[in-house]
Amino acid sequence: MGKNANPAGRLAGKAALITGGASGIGEATCRLLAREGARVAVADVDEKGGEQVAARIRREGGQAVFIKADVGKAAQVKRMIEGTAKAFGRLDIIHNNAIWFRHGAAVELEEKDWDGTLDVGLKSIYLAAKYGIPVMRRSGGGAIINTASVHSLVGFATSTAYDAAKAGILGLTRVLAIDYGPDIRVNAVLPGAILTPLWDNLKVPPKVRRQYARMVPAKRMGRPEDIAYAVLYLASDESSFVTGTTLVVDGGMLARTD
């Protein structure tokens, strides 16, 4: 990504809030939106990582603040929205990107892990809409982009809670688009296998990563920037007639039949 924010960029004058902004897709989106002229609120539970992302944006010539928030909790989401509006005087873009999950088949999965996955992965989007849409409307409207997944459309073994959360995002995206259009546009981006620090945290071996790359027509793993550019499109005026729908960015994974 470039080193300087663009005051004449595609998001010039707008304020954006990105959850899960401390790393991976969230970090890439924060930096790209800032480069395109947006003022960015980096939201995450990871205070050190989030502060580093915000500081990097400022070093690159952009405007950014960090807001610590557990998006599965209503009071913290409300405070996150208010903090963004206070910092920038408006709110135009929300990218609901944060996720937490535990895998497990239904019989083995603990209730607390189901609840935690659905709270951060799905309830957080409802909360961001509840508290964020009134603020966005005061600024004249805006765009909400939800990070769903290819898991929203097909099932993966033992992904009980994760797949439920990601499938639920699609229904919630459609309802929000219907209820709050035309001034609020709501869409979902569906990543495939994206190489983020999560793969290292889960200790996914190189052999498995190569297998994922060979599975798709693109013949590579996705990069966080691949999703960030999709979010940029959905956040910009270029997608002014796009709402209530999904944008799959998976290197062709779902095109396969074998």
Q: Which residues are catalytic?
A: 162
Taking the C-alpha atoms of residue 175 and residue 12, their distance in angstroms, rounded to an integer, is 29
Does residue 172 contact residue 146 with C-beta atoms inside 8 Å?
A: yes
Asked whether the CA dihedral 97, 102, 104, 106 is positive or negative, the reply is: negative
Taking the C-alpha atoms of residue 89 and residue 61, their distance in angstroms, rounded to an integer, is 19
Q: Which two tokens mark 147?
A: 């990070």
Q: Which two tokens mark 60?
A: 């690159």
Taking the C-alpha atoms of residue 32 and residue 12, their distance in angstroms, rounded to an integer, is 12
